[in-house]
Amino acid sequence: MKELNKRHFLNYSILIPYLILSVLGLIIVFSTTVPHQIELGLPPYQLFRNQTIFFVFSLVMIAMIYKMKVDKLRSRGWFGILIPIMLALLFIARFLAPPVNGAHGWIPIPGIGTIQPAEYLKLVSVWFLAATFAAKQDKIKVQDIDALFNRKQFFVNFISGWRLWMVLMVGAVVVMPDMGNALLILISAAIVLATSGISYRWTTGFLKIFGIFSLIALVILKITGGNIIPSIFGSITYVNKRFIAFANPFQDSSDSGHQMINGYYAMSNGGWFGRGLGNSIQKKGYLPEAHTDFVFAIVMEELGLIGGMIILGLLFFLIMRIFMVGIRAKDPFNSMMSIGVGGIFFAQVLVNIGGIAGLIPSTGVTFPFLSQGGNSILILSVGIGFVLNISADEKRRELAEITSKYDLSELSDISLSKS
């Protein structure tokens, strides 16, 4: 008898683009970090080596998650441990760990580098909401949004359940302050909420409110020149600089607009086909954070507009395949979890590209796979592991339904394995 194991249900339309982007990311990390390390007088290959180690560990994590049963992943018992750990790590990062470049959010680990709890919280929050909303499906079908918010006793019930935990998690990221990751958590949470089964009217209503609010905020930033945060709030003055750079980067080219302007120069230098891999000018001390926040500007300089579009095309293909797994899934948890993971990828790309292009204020959000950062590649890979597992689970369920519904002689010698 032929036995079908999980490896037979592996979704290569997700795995292969992931591997290509990850390997390409290692090449870009090598190209952007070596000049940075030499400029600082540090070991040239240290950051590349760390990134490679995290990538190898990420592959191990994908294999481990893929082998797990989805029933175990949807259990809400995980969050009694994970959420308190996340909050404790955020507390340590904010109040006990030393700042990095004047900002909090990283915990140094000897021999490894640093860990950034806010990166992991993005996936934990999506996982938490998907599991919570999946357990409320019967109520949502009857009560719609009241099953999630209980509008009649909103303020009474706010101090318990998933609402309180989400406020605590997002609030802990905001006080870092890390507005970029806080924004990503809110966007991905909103995407999971929109796919929870509530009426589409609520989703469209929230989108209209968000769109109007965003438009008003952008208009205010342009009118005020971005200088809207009083100087007494010294801990977040860097946010004010990003607002000023968004409003008019050339107004202060030596300070607040320096990074944005040099990002423009990098993209302009690349032209259609780029200067060639490793031949960027701006990464050699001109563009700050060329290996993290503004890495795509360097990619455009070295590979040109054509190369940048190919990378974006491959990344959006991966995102769409992740979304399709969620759209086609029949299990509520599988659907919300996959769409939530795709939402993290999608939001991160849009926020990063919007920032370096000057369409929105820069938030410090890294570019998926290409930016240097072991935490980023690890959490993106764990998300991929979840989606691959969910995809295999849905395929196995579908095949099991077909074989039980029809007497197919050609499948009569096939047994299905859940592990």
- What are the CA-CA distances from residue 142 to residues 145, 158, 379 (Å)? 9, 21, 35
* β 414-416/2-4 pair status: parallel
Q: Angle at the Cα of 328 (from 327 to 332), degrees rounded to 5? A: 75
Do 146 and 198 contact (CB within 8 A), yes or no?
no
Provide the 3-class DSSP secondary structure of residue 4.
strand
- The pLDDT assigned to 1 comes to 36
Give the pair of three-digit tokens for residue 300: 């455009």
Q: Identity (one letter) of the amino acid at 131?
A: A
| C-alpha–C-alpha distance, residues 138 and 145, integer Å | 12
Domain tally for the chain?
A: 1
Q: 291 CB contacts (<8 Å, ≥6 apart)?
A: 29, 32, 33, 36, 47, 283, 298, 371, 372
Give the pair of three-digit tokens for residue 59: 């592959």
Do 416 and 396 contact (CB within 8 A), yes or no?
yes
Give the pair of three-digit tokens for residue 90: 């955020």
| C-alpha–C-alpha distance, residues 386 and 342, integer Å | 11
Burial class (CB in 10 A: 0-12, 13-18, 19+), 367: buried
Q: What is the pLDDT along the chain (419 residues), one digit of tens a residue?
A: 345 676 778 899 999 999 999 999 999 999 888 887 888 788 888 889 989 999 999 999 999 999 988 888 888 888 888 888 988 998 988 888 887 766 778 888 877 778 888 889 999 999 999 998 888 887 777 766 766 766 555 555 555 577 788 888 888 888 887 788 888 999 998 899 888 877 777 778 778 888 888 888 777 777 776 666 655 555 556 666 777 767 677 776 666 667 788 888 888 888 888 888 888 888 887 777 778 888 898 899 889 999 999 999 999 999 999 999 999 988 899 999 999 999 999 999 999 998 888 777 777 788 999 998 888 999 999 999 999 999 998 888 878 777 777 655 455 455 555 55
Cα dihedral 176/181/183/187 (nearest 10) = -140
Structural domain of residue 140, as residue ranges?
2-416
